[in-house]
Amino acid sequence: MTRAALSVYIYGLYLVTGIGVPFLLIPHFALGLFGLSAGDDMWIRFLGVYIAAMGGFYIVSVLTRTHIMFRWTVPPRYATAAFMCIMVALGKAGPALLFFAALDALTASITWVAIRADEAEQDPAQSRPQA
């Protein structure tokens, strides 16, 4: 498994087990850990199913070696992190949301660096200095 594949696989597992399943099964407890409220119970459970499904796509992309998907995951993860930061800055969400924003930005960065390292390893000419 390449470094990029491993990073996307771990992120997919995080989406399924760290966010999706808890939001689906124990939304008030999961959000309460970060000082957030679930609001309408149905919507947070819906979000849990949706996030778990999205995480499943990440995992399937690794298992089927759909390498282009690895690259496609990076910009939306940065955009999600930026959106969360904006919501906190506007006072629409508490500062606990910054933990998730940082996690998304960090994991997107790890995936991007891993993609670049995997590509350089496959094409040694790219990693040599140009004359």
Q: Does residue 76 carry a pLDDT above 70? A: yes
Q: Does residue 9 carry a pLDDT above 70? A: yes
Q: Which of 84, 14, 19, 11 is nearest to 47 (CA)?
A: 19
pLDDT for residue 128: 55
Q: Does residue 52 carry a pLDDT above 90? A: yes
**Per-domain residue ranges of the chain:** 3-120
24 and 48 Cβ atoms separated by less than 8 Å:
yes
Name which residue leads in pLDDT, 123 or 58. Answer: 58
Q: Residue 71, class by beta-carbon neighbours within 10 Å (0-12 exposed, 13-18 middle, 19+ buried)?
A: middle
Q: Return the minimum-mean-pLDDT range out of 25-39, 61-75, 77-91, 117-131.
A: 117-131
- Alpha carbon distance 37, 57 (integer Å): 27
Q: Which residue has the tokens 């099964």?
A: 25
pLDDT for residue 85: 97
Place 35 in a pLDDT band, splitting at 50, 70 and 90.
confident
Give the type of residue at 124.
Answer: P
Helices (H), the chain: 3-13, 21-25, 27-32, 41-63, 67-89, 97-122, 124-127
